[in-house]
Amino acid sequence: MPEKDTVVINSINIKKGIETAVETAVEIIDYKYAADWAYNIGLILLPDAPPVIDNKGFIIKQFQIEIPVSGYKRDLFYKAYFDFFRYKEKNFPFNSKLTIYIKDIYENMRHAATVETSFLTGNKLFEVDIPYDLSYPGKFYIVIHEHAQKAENWGIWDIIVTSKKISELDENFIKSLLKSEETKLKISK
C-alpha cells in the first residue's frame, strides 16, 4: 500500500478497520440518524462540513477510545483536523469535554488538546498538532477521553490527518482518497 500525506478517518475505515475494539467504542451513523439523535437531546445538528462531506460519522460510545492512524509518509509533519458534530444552539444538555492525546507504538503518550462544548457552535474544524516524534515510527493512535457523567455526548463526522493546509484539500482530492480507502477495504475482507 503506498503511503499518503493525508489520511481520512471516517465511518468507512473505522467500521471495517482491522482493530475491532474501535468498532465497539463508536456507533457509525448517517446524517438522518445523527439529526434524530441530536433532536432527541434538544439540539439542531448542522450539516457535515467540508472538505469531507459524506454525511457519515460516528458517536463516541465509551469514555476513552483509541483510533489507529497509519499509511502516511513518516517523514512529514502532521496535523489532525476534527469535524465534530456542531449545533445551532449555544447551550447543551450535557456537561462534557474531550481530552485528546497522541500515542506512539511504544506507548509514549502526550496531551495534544482539550475540546470544550463551546467549540460545538463554531464553523471551523478543530486543529491538533501531531508531535513528530510520536508519528515518525509510521503508526500512532489518537486517544480521545471524554470527561462527563455519561458517555455518548460527542459525534465526529471525520478526522483528517494531513501534512497539507486544510485549504489545499479540495473535494476531488478527498473523493479520490475515500475511493481508494473503500477499494482497500473490499480487498482486505
56 pLDDT tier (thresholds 50, 70, 90):
very high
70 pLDDT tier (thresholds 50, 70, 90):
very high
Per domain, the residue ranges of the chain are: 6-188
Name which residue leads in pLDDT, 72 or 179.
Answer: 72
Backbone angles phi and psi of 88, in degrees to 5: -70, -35
Statement: residue 58 has pLDDT above 70: yes
What's the whole-number mean pLDDT along residues 141-160?
A: 94
- Integer Rg of the chain from CA: 16
pTM above 0.75, yes or no: yes
Q: Give dist(CA 42, CA 112) in Å, integer.
A: 30
Q: Report the CATH fold assignment for 6-188.
A: Jelly Rolls (2.60.120)
